[in-house]
Amino acid sequence: MNNLLQAQLKIVPEMPLLLQKRYKVLMAILLAGEIGRRSLSELVHLTERETRKETDLLNQQGLITISNVGMKITKEGKDVLDTLKDVIHEWSGLIQLEQQLQQTYNLSRVIIVPGDSEGNNLAKSLLGQVAAKQLNCLTQSKQIVAVTGGGTIASIAEYLTQFVKQKALTYVAARGGIGEEVQLQANTIAASFATATNGLSRTLYLPDHLSEEAYNMMMKEPVIKEMLELYDQTSVVIHGIGDAMEMARRRNSTPEEIQTIEEAGAVGEAFGYYFNKDGKAVHRIRTVGIQLKQLESVQHLLAVAGGSSKATAIGSYLKHAPPQTVLITDEGAAKELVKQNRDIN
């Protein structure tokens, strides 16, 4: 690690606090485009006064302009943000956290963005940005990318535009529609990814809650079989991780199903599979989708999930996640994860 930064840290230990706070504010202004003091303070969870203090400073430093319609980031501000990105990372101790998680769960890589998605839109945006960037790094031309549903994954689309163009990627939904809001369904998301990157998408709508018979029938249909074969050719899977109960509720699961899930001790959810706290898949939504076994032969798995309250869920999935998984999460979830692990030992 950089020797100089460490020395600075030693002699001015309050630096990271200041740096992070202002970075956060500046980043929020960047993301919001043009924003007023009060809305901003809500966004970054600072009091109005403090926000004002910081923005005044940023203004004085020429990093933002501040007019009667709101505050905007300047070219210089953007440059500073960009330059500072790595330092923030280093000074926040996130790098250590990343290594720790990477080792305890035996993952390919862990990327932690500062902040907590829990109520903080900023961290959410960062999560999306970073995920988009990673997707860009991990894919090659004409590969197939499988995507799941969920808000976190959906939000990646808007940051994809800057990357991934000209790669002619094909996006497939990792699972059929499973009763969520349309905007959060894998199908919709796969389509939106394709639109954003001039790619293709293959979607598949199936009614939920098929009877076992109907399900088995469907699996023999050529269209479906074709879809399943696509999963075998998938190079990258990008998926979220959800809280088991919350997902069940969001999916309008039947009371019986919810009870089953609850009794099985499920805490986490991914790809429509429910995992208990030991990482064992204890239940699955009965619809067409990528199989757990297929995951193991996929080149890259991008797990994107943040928010401290999701920590338990994330932990449960990671317990048995394939080693080629790249976890993209936020500070809040990461810290909570580490804490929970510490409590156990």
Residues that bind DNA in the complex, under the rule CB under 7 A: 35-40, 47-50, 52-53, 55-56, 66-71
Quote the tokens at residue 88.
């923030």
User: Are the C-beta atoms of residues 169 and 139 closer than 8 Å to each other?
Assistant: yes
Binding segment for its own copies (CB under 8 A), chosen from 78-86, 144-152, 219-227, 293-301, is 78-86
- 35 DSSP 8-state letter: B
The nearer residue to DNA, 14 or 343, going by C-beta atoms, is 14
Nearest by Cα to 186 from 161, 221, 156, 159: 156
Of 36, 50, 52, 61, the residue at the interface with its own copies (CB under 8 A) is: 61
Q: Which does 76 bind (CB under 5 to 8 A by kind): its own copies, DNA, none?
A: its own copies
Q: Does 15 bind its own copies (CB under 8 A)?
A: yes
User: Are the C-beta atoms of residues 310 and 123 closer than 8 Å to each other?
Assistant: no
CA 257 to each of CA 178, 215, 253, 310: distance values in angstroms, whole numbers, following the listed order? 14, 17, 6, 21
Nearest by Cα to 112 from 124, 128, 95: 95
The nearer residue to DNA, 54 or 331, going by C-beta atoms, is 54
Q: Does 67 bind its own copies (CB under 8 A)?
A: no
Minimum gap (Å) between residue 282 Cβ and its own copies? 48
Q: Does 56 bind its own copies (CB under 8 A)?
A: no
Sheet holding 109-113, edge to edge: 109-113, 325-330, 300-304, 234-240, 144-147, 170-173, 200-202
Q: Does 75 bind its own copies (CB under 8 A)?
A: no
Q: Does 19 bind its own copies (CB under 8 A)?
A: yes
Rg (CA), the chain: 21
The nearer residue to its own copies, 13 or 222, going by C-beta atoms, is 13
The footprint of its own copies (CB under 8 A) covers 3-4, 6-8, 10-15, 18-19, 22-23, 26, 57-58, 61-63, 76, 79-80, 83-84, 87
